[in-house]
A = this chain, B = another copy of it.
Amino acid sequence: MSSTRSGGRSAIVRARVLAAASDLVTTKGPQNVTIPEIAQRAGVAASSLYRRWGDVGALLLEMAAERLAQKFPLPDEGSIEGDLRCWTEKIVLGLNSTEEPIFFRILLAAGDVAPEKRIKALAPRREQLQAMLERGRARGERTPTVEDLVDHLLAPLYMRALVGLPVNEALAKHLVERLLNTPP
């Protein structure tokens, strides 16, 4: 019982911390947010935030990945090709919008976060991608792996945006076709 209560309390504190972090990132930008500020805004001791996340980069990354998973659920179009087309088109829209791609900026700003913490923070999104691929596998489709999606869809779209090359729907379509037509 007590562990349930403490789990509940811990979840409430976590939600308050992530909400405070989200507010601060929106007003100040990911580069300018610190653990003590988040702690103060959430009404929690900074020491407990350091204990749980270690550094501000890991905390922001966890917050951003959770928001991303909530705000942008992955498509369920009935086929892997349809899902990947729909998903990559949304990424293209995001990369071309004038709104700040806040999630990507947080990922980029997390330069000092250890690899294992990055993987942990990004777990919610990874699980959604995994579930989308599982649906395809259950339908008997040949499906790529999550790593394939990172390597051959996410990566080229973001890298092109980074170096200033065009990112558009035709490219997204081409990358999806290329991935699905390449032997594993």
Contacts and interface: CB of A to CB of B under 8 A. Distances in A.
Interface in A158-174: 158-160, 162-166
Given A119-B165, A178-B182, A151 B160 contact: yes
A162 B107 contact: yes
A152 B163 contact: no
A140 interface: no
Interface string A129-167: 000000000000000000100111011101110111110
Contacts of A115: 164-166
Nearest to A100: B111
Contacts of A15: none
Given A31-B31, A105-B111, A163 B150 contact: yes
Interface residues on A, range: 20 to 34
A162 B162 CA distance: 13
B116 A164 contact: yes
Interface string A118-134: 11001000000000000
Nearest to A120: B164
A117 interface: yes
A147 to B, nearest CB: 7
A78 B156 CA distance: 27
A108 interface: yes
Nearest to A178: B182
A159 B155 contact: yes
B164 A154 contact: no
